[in-house]
Amino acid sequence: MRFRTLAVSLAAVVALCAVVPAAYAGCTRDQAIQKMSAVANGLGQKAGQAKTAEDTQKIQAGYAKLNEGGDAMAKQDFDKACAIYDSIAKDFDLKP
């Protein structure tokens, strides 16, 4: 019974250690720039494929969010910028 309790406790600690670094891992300036470039290129491709006014409006909204990411970068808030770029990538099915 002790072994089982120890095994469960150890598994919980290992799982926690795997999650904790990700929670504290910040986005660097270079990562934010890379994501911004990838998202901007992806939006450009989507703009070229737009067929309806609704598609165009959605892409314009994506560019507005891209500008918000640029504002965050200007304030050196790289975590916020990366979160914005990741959100755009998710909305448009892009790889940041």
Render pLDDT for 9-63 as a digit per residue (tens, 0 to 9): 333 333 433 443 444 469 999 999 999 999 999 999 999 999 999 999 999 999 9
CB atoms within 10 A of CB 79: 14
Give me the mean pLDDT over the 70-93 stretch. 96
Sole residue written with tokens 């994506």? 62
Q: What is the pTM of this model?
A: 0.72
pLDDT at 79 over 60: yes
Give me the mean pLDDT over the 67-79 stretch. 97
